[in-house]
Amino acid sequence: MSVEKVKNYLVRCGLKDRVREFPVSSATVELAAKALNVEPARIAKSISFYEKDGGCLIIVAAGDAKIDNAKFKAEFGFKAKMLSRDDVEPMTGYRIGGVCPFDNPPSAKVYCDCSLKRFQTVFPAAGSANSCVRLTCGELFTASHGVRWVDVCKNWKDEDQP
């Protein structure tokens, strides 16, 4: 079970007992925020894309942020293309609704978006459609083996709002 995989991984990271499981779905930002009773922006969503070398990259971003295609291309040098439904589990190690930035296959690279840094704690998924992990941004970056912090999202800053 993927949630057990994440729990075991987080124990090895020194983050024992951080996983929360719910009797309801937390598969979307809105459902996770409702289950946790927090604002949707604090949900750290993992968005998976094809990497130009055949692997994938996972962007962990705030729940209210959206990928900015121009920023993505400027950062990575290629156009953003999300993984197909059939490629999500083999390339990230998790099913849709539970994709998280922990213990992914070696070909998956994790990048954390700066949209998360405005929060003391954030809540990424924990490997299933009814779980999450409470982490600081520093803990998230370290536990996910983040490559680097990036700025590839829009609609989360005041100046981004219409």
pTM: 0.94
Query: What's the pLDDT tens digit per position in 54-96?
Result: 899 999 999 999 999 999 999 999 999 999 999 999 999 999 9
Provide the phi-psi class of 14: left if phi over 0, else alpha when psi is between -120 and 50, else beta.
left
* 105, 57 contact by CB (below 8 A): no
Residue 157 pLDDT > 80, yes or no? no
Residue 96 covered by a domain? yes
H or E element, residue 59:
strand 56-62
Confidence of residue 16 (pLDDT cuts 50, 70, 90): confident
Query: What's the pLDDT tens digit per position in 29-42?
Result: 999 999 999 999 99
Domain of residue 112: give its range.
Answer: 2-150
Residue 57 covered by a domain? yes
Question: How far does CA 116 lie from the centroid of its chain?
Answer: 10
Residue 157 covered by a domain? no
* 51, 57 contact by CB (below 8 A): yes
Residue 155 covered by a domain? no
